[in-house]
Amino acid sequence: MDRNLPVTPNDSYRLVPWIRAGVLALAVAGFGLAMGTPTPAAAAAEVSGRSMSVPLAADAPDTYVVKKGDTLWDIAGVFLKDPWYWPEIWYVNPAIENPHLIYPGDVLNLTYVDGKPRVTVERAGAVRLSPQVRSEPLSGAIRAIPYDLLMDFVGRPQLLDAKQVQKAPYVVGMRDRHIIGSTENELYARDLGKPEPGSRYTVVNVGEELRDPDDGDRLGYIGHYAATAEVIQTTGAVVPGSDSIFKMKREDELTHLRVLDTGREVLQGDKLFPAQVDIGEDFVLSAPSNNELVGQVIAVVDGVYVAGKYQVLAINRGKKHGLAPGNALAVFYRGEVVRDRYSHDDDWMRYTATYDKVRMPDERSATILLFRVYDRMSYGLVVESTQAIRRGDFIAHPSFGHREAGRTDFIR
């Protein structure tokens, strides 16, 4: 991979040769295991009764009681060094209804089957004298990540195409000459037709244009959640007549709405979309199937320059590149270029205006979990970070780089 990759179109990526060799070696080792020829480390693990096929956390407990407020990412991190290996140790008990769902009060047990670690679930209140049906709704199940942090995204438009930006209904003005709208303010929208009173719409602010740094193609526009508004009534727009300001005529309908809640200020020109009441489907933690995946951070959502834990990033990779919701990705800080003023062999103290340029290593800085995946781009939540993340930083398979030491995986 080209670690000196600029944020401009028509650049290519190339993986480090030794990484390719390492991947090939792992593949050969995996084939050997499949043929019944374990590696020395695997053989030692089988003797000790513990499998090294997945990296268990050093202090992984034998049991864990699920608590309210837990997420699957947190729980997987209790048992595993790398939470995206969770599907490899989760034991699906077919005797339990919805065995993939975990609820507060459930007891998770770490056991070993043929030397391989497995986590099983024991439902809360499983010991009973008569049949019992769980009365807790599915919404009470543990989510993969804290979805309350994503409510401005999940189930709402996030990537707008040019047609939506041009044709979608929009806010034409606000009552009482307000320039910006907030909770309990009233606004007027155009091109909604004649929706029923009480219908709800999501108001979306059109954000920055997203372009793929590979080829410069426009991917769309970021859609920022602004508000939820409820229809009061639909009425005709009144405009001055052509021959006198006192003669009025009816034009197309305007929809009168009341703002129920806001995520940011409502502005004239903001787009409206039918509100969705669900919070979106959950997903399974996993690593991308493409080990050679490489891309870039193309935006930090909400207009900030840098991102940290529990903020949202946009990347220029999606379904076309084999990604799916729940995939974990590593983020690498792009090394800065510095001037080396002490690189002279004859006199290292001699002053010169022409310094050698040295680029610092690209260091592992964060892990993100994808929750919305489009054809050529995706949105991900930062679930762990060691330093600020910026537009232009690299993204790659999560197995690349040490999270603790920040190992370099990209070269010139």
Instruction: For residue range 65-85, list pLDDT tens digits in order.
Output: 999 989 999 999 999 999 999
Helix (H) or strand (E) holding 245: none
Of the pLDDT bands very low, low, confident and very high (cuts 50, 70, 90), residue 350 is low
Rg (the chain; Cα; Å)? 27
* Cα–Cα separations (whole angstroms), residue 352 to 229, 336, 337: 64, 21, 18
pLDDT digits (tens, 9 = 90+) for 403-412: 555 544 444 3
The larger pLDDT score, comparing residue 118 to residue 33, is at 118
CB 151 within 8 A of CB 228: no
Q: Whole-angstrom Cα distance, residue 278 to residue 154? A: 8
| Complete DSSP assignment for 99-148 | TT---TT-EEEEEEETTEEEEEEE-TT---SS-----S-GGGSPPSS-GG
Lowest mean pLDDT among 29-38, 45-54, 71-80: 29-38
Residue-level pLDDT at 280: 61
Please state, as a whole number, how many other Cβ atoms lie within 10 Å of the Cβ of residue 120. 17
Highest mean pLDDT among 26-40, 48-62, 325-339, 345-359: 325-339
pLDDT band per the 50, 70, 90 thresholds, residue 96: confident
Q: Does residue 39 have a pLDDT over 50?
A: no
Q: What is the DSSP letter of 175?
A: G
User: Is a pLDDT exceeding 60 seen at residue 257?
Assistant: yes
Q: Which parts of 143-207 fold into alpha helices (H)? A: 162-167
C-alpha triplet 31, 35, 39: angle, nearest 5°: 65
* CA atoms of 278 and 148, how far apart (whole Å): 12
- End-to-end CA separation in angstroms for the chain: 8
Helix then strand then coil, % of the chain, to nearest 5: 15, 35, 50
What is the chain's mean pLDDT, rounded?
Answer: 77
Q: What's the CA gap between 221 and 376, in Å, rounded?
A: 13
What residues does 171 pair with on adjacent strands? Answer: 189
User: In the structure, what pLDDT confidence band is assigned to residue 353 with cuts at 50, 70 and 90?
Assistant: low
Element (H, E) at 65: strand 63-65
Instruction: Determine the pLDDT at residue 198.
Output: 93
Q: What is the pLDDT of residues 383-405, one digit of tens each?
A: 999 889 999 999 999 988 765 55
- Lowest average pLDDT, out of 10-14, 87-91, 335-339, goes to 10-14
CB 72 within 8 A of CB 144: yes
- Residue 344 near residue 352, CB atoms below 8 Å: yes
On whether the CB atoms of residues 104 and 67 are closer than 8 A, the answer is yes
Which residue would you say has higher pLDDT here, 15 or 110?
A: 110
User: What pLDDT was estimated at residue 194?
Assistant: 87
Residues 8, 76: Cα–Cα separation, whole Å: 37
The tokens for 315 are 């990347």
Residue 52, pLDDT above cutoff 70: no
Tokens of 42: 């695997």
Give residue 238's pLDDT.
58
CA distances from 119 to 90, 100, 108 (A): 5, 12, 6
CB atoms within 10 A of CB 19: 19
Map out the domains of the chain with their CATH numbers. 38-124+137-142 (no CATH), 159-274 (no CATH), 294-340+350-396 (2.40.10.410)
Residues 283-332 have pLDDT tens digits of 889 999 998 899 999 999 876 788 899 999 999 999 999 999 999 999 99
Largest CA distance in the chain: 96
* pLDDT value at 249 more than 70: no
Query: Higher model confidence: residue 31 or residue 325?
Result: 325
What confidence tier does 131 reach under pLDDT thresholds 50, 70, 90? very low
* Percent residues over pLDDT 90 in the chain: 42
* pLDDT at residue 142 is higher than 60: yes
Nearest to 366 by CA among 349, 389, 344: 389
HSE-CB of 201 using CA atoms within 13 angstroms? 31
* One-letter identity of residue 261: D
| Owner of token pair 């997987």 | 76
